[in-house]
Amino acid sequence: MASKKSELKKNEKQVDKTEKALAAEKEQFIKLQLHSITKSITSAEAPIKEKYGRNIILGTYKEGGAVTFWSHTVSLPLSSNAILSWKFCHMVHKLLRDGHPNTLRDSRGQTTSIRQMGILWGNLHDRYGHIVALYAKLLCIKIDFHLKHLEIPPNLETPEEVLDKSIAIDINKVFDMTGEVLDYMEAGLKLQETVFRQMESNSTSSTTAVGQCRLAPLVPVIQDCGPLYHFLVKLLFKLHSRIPVDALLGHRERFRDQFNSLTQFFERARGMEFFKSIIQIPDLPSEPPNFLRAAAYSDHVKPVVVQNHRMTEDDDTDTQLDFNEGQSYQMTEADSLRKELEMVKPELELMKVEAQRAVVQLKTQVNKLEAELEDQRTHKQMAMVENERLRMEMDALRTQTAVAASLQATVEDAGSRAQTAQMHFTRLKEKHAELVSKHADLMRKNAEMVKQINSTQQAQGELVTARQLTAEIENSATLEAQRAEIERLKNELQTERAEKSQVHNALQSKEKTGDQLSSVLVGLQVEKEALLRTIKEQEAEIATLRQAVQLHQTSLQQERETHQREMTALHNQLQEKMCREQEQQMEMEKLRRELAEKRAEVLRAQSALTTKETAGDQLSRVLVGLQAEKEDLLRSVKEQEAEISTLRQAAQLYQDALLQERDRSQREMATLHNQMQAKLSLDSGALKQKLQDEQFSLLQCAVVEAEGIVLDAVAKLDDPVHVRCISTPDYLINRAELTLASIDKMQQSHAGYLRNMEDASGMLRSVTQFSHLIADTIVNGAGAAHSAPTDQADRLTDNCRDCATHCLQFLKELKLKATLPRADPTGVRCMVQRILNQGQDLLPRGADVRKEELADMVDKEMAATSSAIEDAVLRMDEILSQARRDTYGIKLEVNQSIIGSCSDLMKAIHMLVTAATDLQRDIVESGRGAGSVKDFYAKNSRWTEGLISASKAVGWGATQMLESADKVVTDRGKYEELIVCSHEIAASTAQLVAASKVKADRGNKKLLTLKHASRHVNDMAAVVVKSTKAGQMQIEEKDSMDFSGLSLIKLKTEEMDSQVKVLELENQLTHERVRLGELRRKHYEMGGIPLDSASGSAMNDFDSSLPTVFPDPPTMELPSLEPYGPDSTKLEPLRLNPPRLEPARSEPPAPEPVKNTNSKRTKPNRNGTTLISVQFDLKTPPKCVLASKERQ
């Protein structure tokens, strides 16, 4: 019991180990498949790599299907990338052709997704969209066709007897199958036509990766088109033999078009180098087959597409062994050896797969030839049996001529058998003709096979000689590749010898079957003897019948005697008896005449028998001729066997030579390898130490140079000549930021150098860049300190000195090997960060813009405003197009009306900005006199600031109008937003007009143009408000109230609820108005307009040359502020309309008082001035700041 338990435990452990090993192997297989799928089906515009596609195909054989492939490809984003879908279709096509036979079954449920993918890309206008749709259609047709006809595999390599069997049953099925094959061929031809047309239109070359990405899927298409053409020819000949010619006119026309397209396809592909290196494309006849003539089928030759054995080229350059070189060259040689060894492994796998495929094809051809030979022998045996049967029949006819009763039947039987013999003779002639044609085909195929073997041997010889020449100048890696190639050729020769031995064995087996058939013939002879025995038995029966006739005659004689006795007894009836005797004599004469006729018929039958005998002699002579032809065929077979034996001897000699070459290469390889190992072991240590010392010496030189650069920069801090040098804070910030980035790069290079001290290139670059940038930061920090306030200048100078000290300390640590690992630039980083912060503190704030830059700011802001408005107009057109696509009905009418009015408003604003720009240029040219444009803007800086503020406000309003219109169209915004934006745009344009006409002459024509443009903008804004309100009224549902069924109490309750809602809405309106007032108050305070300051002096000091901030449009009024405070005071819109400032006047007139004088809108600053300008950004609302210059 204990032993049994221990055995059970051991078995369980073994089972667990086996299960774990299987699970690990399965997991590794799934990872490999996923990696291959990810690498082969990518969005890169390049063909699928062969090794990844080969791994996927081998995975289907290992798994027994394509379940893993389909489970991984479901997650691919095929609908987002057309190139990805194109490569996916190519991979599916390769799997169907070369994968496991169960791949077709596993792909049954994927046709729907493939078809939907094709429809999706067919509706999109993409570079690969149309060809992806055609490829998906081809794959669906291919899968459906082969699922319907399981006897035809997806690679279309079907034996002829299987195809003949499938089309020999029902002519209706043949007709349907012909239509399906025509659709199959048409889908492939449409795909190739579209691919070539796109390549011609794009001028894409087949040698580039982009061109090969499109052309690679056409290789399986060519492999499909060859067998499909053969199927069509065979099916159409079959149909024309059974169906009237007129009914097949459409099939012939369709086949003719496909024949012409296929011929052009093959010719075009045959002229491309890409296809020449992959496959051998067969030649098609110049004219399509003539289906109206049945004998034309014998002229048809099946086109066979042969795939070349491709060797992947190694992209790595081979380096020549040089033992006097350093360690880097030797490492390169070792790496190249390893790479080539890795490259040889997938090539060997590819050769094995291709060899297996070639073996399968040769086996198929051998089986086909054996079947044909078996058919020939069967026909010969049938002819011999038929001849023997005819002879037996003639013997039977000779034996039965004596029987008169069965003579007529025998003659008729002989006639029918003669006709049968004639029919068999005709069939025998046809079979003879077929044997002759098949023998010719066999001879031609044998010649082609010999040519292929000779070409292979010649190519192999050239390859061996080329490799022998290159072996003298290349390294040991090429020797390894030669050895792998020799192994491959040896394997190919072994496979060819095995196949030839299999053919020989098959022929011997066929001879054995012939002996078996001879034994069957002996059995037939035994059956013949049995039939002779049955004939003898029939003759015995005839003899018994004759005896019965004789007995009957004796009985008649006895009856006659009784009659005579009766005649003698009955004399009175003599007369009657005499009459009866006379009648009997007449009957006897009649019987004699019939006997004479029978004899004449017997003579005619004998003459017919003689003619049949002559026909039998002729048949025997024909049989003798057939036997002679059979002997000729046997002699030709023996000659072929002799040729095969000679080829075997040549192959054996070639193999011996290859083995000798292999041994010599192995010896040379071993010698080179030993030399290389010895050299590496001697020089590796010394070279490594020498390399590290040289790299560190280079690093020391770079660090010394960097110290000199930093010391030179520190010396400039105390140089009196450098005091006059000034730097801007912006440039200092830029230098400091780049220095911080270089410090990060320095830390990375330092860590990399510590990991690998044999390469200091990265460290050298980092040190050089760091030294220059830190020195530049120190020098520019000193220059910025020269123009900064005293306290900030002292702190900045001290930080620059500290930064230099830390930097020198860091460089000193880098210079010594002992301190190199602990060198840390953290102190340098902190000091540079301080310099960066001080530089940011020195930047000018807010309105500290220099007056010299105002001219550039005016041009920049006017150009930015014009560009923003142009972009808004274009965006409005896009929004309108999108609304026309996405909406319909009343919603579309409303959107068209609103977007159209908004677009018109944008165009009007663009005209206004253009007119304002022209007027502003005219003002500058007329007012600057002898000064420059910058002097004019600097002299009138406040007017310039107002103009800039106005242009920004217009641009911001256009941007807000665009966003509001987009939200309204997409149902994400409200119509009220458009109305408010219209008011804001009207106010901003009025501000721009006011700012422009302050310094313009009253009679200026451009001023009149600006006013007209302003009125047009106001009109368009009113149109926007009107169309928006009208559209809002159309969209809102106006359901009539239904009071039926409501009682008095219910109506009263509804009335009270409505009153409650009204009170709530009024309360919300009040709170919202208060909130609006607070927002505007805060807006004015942030913009520099406190509401609690005195307004009298500020308004008296107001400069009338400044533009108004919120003017009232001519045709529209801005919404007023409702009570927002406890005292319920109202804040009316700000209306400032100062008169034009004449240049000649000594004192500008005072502006008109603003409404609501209780609000205090100005506040003097430290210098006694108040600003009135608008600081504005296109992404934020404008900030209003009033300004007034204190009168001097």
- The strand ranges marked E within 632-775 are none
d(CA 1171, CA 1176): 15
The reply to whether 313 falls in a domain is no
With a cut of 90, say whether residue 708 has pLDDT above it. Answer: yes
Pair 882, 1003 in one domain: yes
Q: Which of 669, 687, 705 represents a domain boundary (last residue)?
A: 687
Query: Is residue 1090 very low, low, confident or very high in pLDDT (cuts 50, 70, 90)?
Result: very low
142: tokens are 């291919």
The reply to whether 1028 falls in a domain is yes
Q: Which of 808, 823, 841 represents a domain boundary (last residue)?
A: 841
The reply to whether 444 falls in a domain is yes
The reply to whether 921 falls in a domain is yes
Q: What is the pTM of this model?
A: 0.34
What is the enclosing helix (H) or strand (E) of 667? helix 574-715
The reply to whether 981 falls in a domain is yes
882 vs 486, which has greater pLDDT? 882
Average pLDDT over the chain, rounded to an integer: 75
Backbone CA torsion sign across 455, 461, 467, 469? negative
Domain of 134? 28-140
Q: Are 56 and 69 in contact (CB under 8 A)?
A: yes
346: tokens are 């997938």
Pair 228, 262 in one domain: yes
Q: Are 1185 and 1171 in contact (CB under 8 A)?
A: yes
Query: Is residue 645 very low, low, confident or very high in pLDDT (cuts 50, 70, 90)?
Result: confident
Query: Is residue 517 very low, low, confident or very high in pLDDT (cuts 50, 70, 90)?
Result: low
Pair 904, 991 in one domain: yes
Pair 291, 361 in one domain: no
Residue count (the chain): 1192
Pair 909, 994 in one domain: yes
Residues 6+ apart with CB under 8 A from 307: 223, 278, 279, 280, 354
974 vs 839, which has greater pLDDT? 839
1062 vs 451, which has greater pLDDT? 1062
Q: What is the CATH number of the domain that holds 929?
A: 1.20.1410.10
Residues 6+ apart with CB under 8 A from 841: 792
Q: Percentage of the chain with pLDDT > 70?
A: 69
Nearest partner of 110 among 90, 83, 130, 139, judged by Cα? 139
Least confident of 42-56, 731-745, 783-797, 826-840: 783-797
pLDDT at position 1159: 37
Domain count, the chain: 5
Query: Is residue 1145 very low, low, confident or very high in pLDDT (cuts 50, 70, 90)?
Result: very low
Residues 6+ apart with CB under 8 A from 254: 182, 186
**Neighbour count for residue 477 (Cβ, 10 Å):** 25
Q: Percentage of the chain with pLDDT > 90?
A: 17
Three-state secondary-structure class, residue 772: helix
741: tokens are 């980035």
CA distances to 862, 1076, 1110 from 953, in Å = 11, 20, 11
pLDDT at position 92: 94
Pair 343, 245 in one domain: no
**Neighbour count for residue 267 (Cβ, 10 Å):** 12
Residues 6+ apart with CB under 8 A from 994: 950, 1107, 1108, 1111, 1136, 1137, 1138
104: tokens are 């077709």
Pair 428, 522 in one domain: yes
Query: Is residue 939 very low, low, confident or very high in pLDDT (cuts 50, 70, 90)?
Result: low
Pair 743, 836 in one domain: yes
Residues 6+ apart with CB under 8 A from 866: 910, 913, 914, 917
Residues 6+ apart with CB under 8 A from 824: 810, 813
Pair 52, 165 in one domain: no
d(CA 176, CA 144): 14
Q: What is the pLDDT of residues 84-109, one digit of tens each?
A: 999 999 999 999 999 999 999 999 88
The reply to whether 335 falls in a domain is yes
Mean pLDDT of 111-120: 91
1083: tokens are 């807006």
The reply to whether 796 falls in a domain is yes
Pair 1073, 984 in one domain: yes
Query: Is residue 468 very low, low, confident or very high in pLDDT (cuts 50, 70, 90)?
Result: low
The reply to whether 760 falls in a domain is yes
Pair 352, 224 in one domain: no
Per DSSP, 1135 falls in state: -
Q: Which of 254, 278, 308 represents a domain boundary (last residue)?
A: 308
Residues 6+ apart with CB under 8 A from 478: 318, 340, 467, 470, 471
d(CA 616, CA 666): 73
With a cut of 70, say whether residue 530 has pLDDT above it. Answer: yes
826-841 and 729-755 helices, crossing angle to 10°? 170
Torsion angle, CA of 996/1002/1007/1013, rounded to 10 degrees? 100
Pair 1075, 1150 in one domain: yes
Q: What is the CATH number of the domain that holds 798?
A: 1.20.1420.10
Any bridge partners for residue 1175, and if so which? 1183
Torsion angle, CA of 948/954/958/961, rounded to 10 degrees? 130
Query: Is residue 1167 very low, low, confident or very high in pLDDT (cuts 50, 70, 90)?
Result: very low
Residues 6+ apart with CB under 8 A from 111: 139, 140, 143, 144
d(CA 1192, CA 1186): 19
Q: What is the pLDDT of residues 754-812, one digit of tens each?
A: 888 888 888 899 999 999 999 999 999 988 888 888 888 889 999 999 999 999 999 99
Residues 6+ apart with CB under 8 A from 607: none
d(CA 933, CA 924): 7
